[in-house]
């Protein structure tokens, strides 16, 4: 499905110039000859001259009874195109704006859609001009598919939604993690800002969540989508900006690898209603990770010193599709971050690094022990003296919910943040309950003064708590160059019942890795 190439060729198309019927592109079809049902995109000239045409694009259905095939699902704004200078910026800009406007809100979002500003055309025009046709085609196909979701899910017969998931969404998910598409998305997010980025990725995450739910159902709908692990997209990108290395990642929880569970792999329809509702809500969660490392470069006689420290590691599990005030059972049940393992260092095989120094010692906590002895005596008049003695000892230790360590693997520094259960002392991400074991110290985890999470369930590890630097000594010969530094991480989310009475438990993980720039230039970073 290459919509962009078809649109780009319209000004020079023989069909466009000689035929009276408008060009039509078949987006999807069920392939049955006797009763074919299909989704089409039509380009219709409304006015203009032979050298310049005013075009309107329309999406319409065919063969879906009793839907009126003459009534379009969607109509674009007018685009003025010519063979010398086809301008499809208004079309792309409209699609992006409508995706943002219709994006599902996170339950605790502070940025309602009504407050989002309209996209400016300049950044989108720059994206069109600065990328190859192949990369731009992947980007446009993804954008168009996201916009088409709401049309097929809300404004069309249910069969059109089934056709969408089978013929349109599945191929897009196969390419969602490709490097060429990731490059365009990275540029897009950097140019339009984080608010638009969140709306875009939450739309994609919501659609993938629905796709995963359909795949889990065992009533025939699972045949609509492929079940291969390659169709589980996860997206991340890294960038260097203002002395910071930044890694961002988004993963719908259902696409994350299942690391541990209590062995209950029942489908939605084979468990009781309460469990099904809980799992349905959990399927709409998306992990949003933001890693921010501050780095400095100092030049010395004989070597260059590169230091890095944690500025912010922010982990948030967004609950997509629900709004404040919705009367939905168990809506407060959600996954929570249970571990983050972030690494940063030179590219593998680099010989220009002389050494790595870590900045945090392994904790060796002291145990504080109290011993109390009581002696009781009886001095009443008696032929035999009675003396009673008793001893009591107690042990007191100080524990934290989150333990932070540093490690090294080759020349890569590793920042490890692990959540522990205050009641049992066990590491949550590696815990596997036995039998009906369900008592834990993480009930009510979003309330109280000693809670391990924010009220919204997020985790923020900032430099004031994890501020020790790590450092590398780099060869003086590398001065004046821009090196590639790798940054990545593994992130775990877990679910334990909070308010609900349930035996369901699971831990899932995802891994991202990318590259950032390290400029070794005087005056660039100090």
**66: cis peptide before it, omega within 30°?**
yes
Categorize the per-residue pLDDT at 417 as very low, low, confident or very high, splitting at 50, 70 and 90: very high
Q: What is the pLDDT of residue 250?
A: 96
pLDDT tens digits along 507-522: 999 999 999 999 998 7
Categorize the per-residue pLDDT at 467 as very low, low, confident or very high, splitting at 50, 70 and 90: confident
Given a cut of 70, is residue 270 above it in pLDDT?
no
Average pLDDT of the segment spanning 255-259: 93
Given a cut of 60, is residue 124 above it in pLDDT?
yes
**Is residue 351 helix, strand or coil?**
coil
Given a cut of 60, is residue 309 above it in pLDDT?
yes
pLDDT tens digits along 143-157: 999 999 999 888 888
Average pLDDT of the segment spanning 162-172: 85
Given a cut of 70, is residue 506 above it in pLDDT?
yes
Q: What is the pLDDT of residue 34?
A: 57
Average pLDDT of the segment spanning 410-419: 94
Q: What is the pLDDT of residue 243?
A: 92
Average pLDDT of the segment spanning 206-234: 66
Share of the chain above pLDDT 70, in %: 78
Phi/psi at 247 (5° precision): -120, 125
Q: What is the pLDDT of residue 372?
A: 63
Q: What's the DSSP call for residue 323?
A: -
Categorize the per-residue pLDDT at 49 as very low, low, confident or very high, splitting at 50, 70 and 90: low
Given a cut of 80, is residue 266 above it in pLDDT?
no
Residue 66 CB: number of other CB atoms within 10 A? Answer: 5
Q: What is the pLDDT of residue 286?
A: 95
Given a cut of 80, is residue 58 above it in pLDDT?
yes
Helices (H), 60-132: 89-101, 121-130
Given a cut of 70, is residue 188 above it in pLDDT?
yes
Given a cut of 90, is residue 68 above it in pLDDT?
no
Phi-psi region of 220 (alpha: psi -120 to 50; beta: other; left: phi over 0): left
Q: What's the DSSP call for residue 325?
A: T
- As a whole number of angstroms, the distance between CA 256 and CA 459 comes to 19
Burial of 221 (C-beta count, 10 Å sphere; 0-12/13-18/19+): middle
Q: Sketch the domain layout of the chain as residue ranges.
A: 3-87, 244-253+270-361+402-526
User: Under a CB-based contact definition with an 8 Å cutoff, are residues 422 and 441 in contact?
Assistant: yes
Angle separating helix axes 89-101 and 133-154, nearest 10 degrees? 40
Radius of gyration of the chain (CA): 29
Categorize the per-residue pLDDT at 52 as very low, low, confident or very high, splitting at 50, 70 and 90: confident
* Most confident stretch, 109-123, 429-443, 453-467, 480-494: 480-494
- As a whole number of angstroms, the distance between CA 20 and CA 1 comes to 25
């Amino acid at each position: 499905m290459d919509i962009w190439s078809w649109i780009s060729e319209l000004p020079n198309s023989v069909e466009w110039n000689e035929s009276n019927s408008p060009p039509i592109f078949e987006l999807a079809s069920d392939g049955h000859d006797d009763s074919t049902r299909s989704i089409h995109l039509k380009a219709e000239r409304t006015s203009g001259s032979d050298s310049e045409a005013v075009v309107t694009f329309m999406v319409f259905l065919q063969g879906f009874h009793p839907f009126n095939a003459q009534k379009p699902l969607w109509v674009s704004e007018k685009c003025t195109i010519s063979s010398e200078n086809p301008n499809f910026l208004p079309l792309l800009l409209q699609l992006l704006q409508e995706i943002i406007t219709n994006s599902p809100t996170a339950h605790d979002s502070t940025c309602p859609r009504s407050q989002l500003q309209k996209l400016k055309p300049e950044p989108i025009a720059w994206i069109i001009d600065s990328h190859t046709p192949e990369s731009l085609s992947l980007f446009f196909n993804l954008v168009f598919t996201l916009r088409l979701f709401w049309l097929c899910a809300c404004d069309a017969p249910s069969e059109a939604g089934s056709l969408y998931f089978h013929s349109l969404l599945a191929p897009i998910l196969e390419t969602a993690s490709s490097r060429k598409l990731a490059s365009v998305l990275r540029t897009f997010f950097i140019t339009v800002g984080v608010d638009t980025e969140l709306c875009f990725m939450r739309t994609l995450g919501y659609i993938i969540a629905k796709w995963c739910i359909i795949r889990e159902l065992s009533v025939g709908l699972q045949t609509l989508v492929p079940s291969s692990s390659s169709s589980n997209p996860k997206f991340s990108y890294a960038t260097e900006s203002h002395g910071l290395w930044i890694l961002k990642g988004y993963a719908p929880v259902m696409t994350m690898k299942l690391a541990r569970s209590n062995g209950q792999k029942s489908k939605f329809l084979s468990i009781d209603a309460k469990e099904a509702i809980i799992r349905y809500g959990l399927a709409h969660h998306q992990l949003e990770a933001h890693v921010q490392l501050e780095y400095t470069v100092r030049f010395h006689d004989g070597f260059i010193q590169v230091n890095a420290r944690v500025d912010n590691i922010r982990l948030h599990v967004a609950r997509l599709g629900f709004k404040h005030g919705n009367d939905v059972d168990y809506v407060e049940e959600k996954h929570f971050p249970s571990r983050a393992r972030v690494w940063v260092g030179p590219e593998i095989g680099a010989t220009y690094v002389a050494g790595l120094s870590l900045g945090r010692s392994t904790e060796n906590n002291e145990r504080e022990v109290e011993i109390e002895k009581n002696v009781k005596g009886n001095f009443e008049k008696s032929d035999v003296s009675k003396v009673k003695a008793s001893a009591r000892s107690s042990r007191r230790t100080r524990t934290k919910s989150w333990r932070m360590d540093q490690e090294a693997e080759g020349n890569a520094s590793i920042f490890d943040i692990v959540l522990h259960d205050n009641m049992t002392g066990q590491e949550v991400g590696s815990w596997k309950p036995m039998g009906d074991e369900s008592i834990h110290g993480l009930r009510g985890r979003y309330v109280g003064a000693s809670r391990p999470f924010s009220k919204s369930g997020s985790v923020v590890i900032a430099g004031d708590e994890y501020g020790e630097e790590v450092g590398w000594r780099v060869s003086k010969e590398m001065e004046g160059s821009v090196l590639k530094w790798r940054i990545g991480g593994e992130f775990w989310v877990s679910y334990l019942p909070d308010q609900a009475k349930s035996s369901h438990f699971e831990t899932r993980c995802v891994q991202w890795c990318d590259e950032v720039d390290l400029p070794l230039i005087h005056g660039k970073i100090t």
